């Protein structure tokens, strides 16, 4: 881990694994950009407060990004989590799998507020690919 306090960034390198609730992120490099809260609590910078002293603004993941949530896995070359916009954007060789269904594209944008996802192709030559397996409505 490398912290650049003047840049308000912390970088984690190697086999990075971050977990929040039922969501897991894996990648080679994870950079967390943060803002300092503008409050004077009298606490020293080294002492963590109950709510912390920094607010995460943006997270950048690079190198074999894998995001797993419940039965859904998304892979990509890089990802950006924008906390202010509450969006996640995966770019490059994006593959989304849920059960037996597979979506492929160049870019995936997920709006975490509305729950809306949008997958895009990288060029006019390669479109978005989808393999949707039919569901059997009969119970076995």
DSSP 88: E
Give the model confidence (pLDDT) of 105-129 as tens digits: 999 999 989 989 999 997 766 789 9
DSSP 38: -
Question: Hey, is 139 helix, strand or coil?
Answer: coil
Q: Rounded distance, CA 64 to CA 16, Å?
A: 10
Give the model confidence (pLDDT) of 40-96 as tens digits: 444 444 444 444 556 999 999 999 999 998 889 999 999 999 999 999 999 999 999
Q: What is the largest CA-CA distance in the chain?
A: 64
Give percent of the chain with pLDDT exceeding 70: 83
Residues 6+ apart with CB under 8 A from 42: none
- Structural domains of the chain, with CATH: 2-35+54-131 (2.60.450.10)
């Amino acid at each position: 881990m490398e912290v650049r306090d003047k840049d308000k960034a912390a970088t984690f390198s190697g086999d990075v694994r971050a977990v929040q609730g039922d969501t897991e992120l894996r990648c080679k490099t994870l950079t967390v950009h943060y803002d300092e809260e503008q409050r004077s609590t009298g606490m020293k910078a080294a002492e963590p407060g109950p709510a912390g002293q920094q607010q995460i603004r943006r997270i950048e993941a690079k190198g074999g990004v894998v995001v797993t949530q419940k039965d859904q896995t998304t892979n990509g070359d890089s990802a950006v989590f924008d906390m202010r916009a509450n969006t996640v954007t995966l770019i490059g060789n994006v593959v989304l799998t849920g059960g037996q269904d597979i979506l492929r594209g160049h870019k995936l944008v997920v709006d975490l507020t509305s729950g809306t996802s949008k997958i895009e192709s990288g060029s006019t030559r390669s479109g978005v690919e989808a393999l949707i397996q039919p569901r059997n409505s009969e119970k076995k």
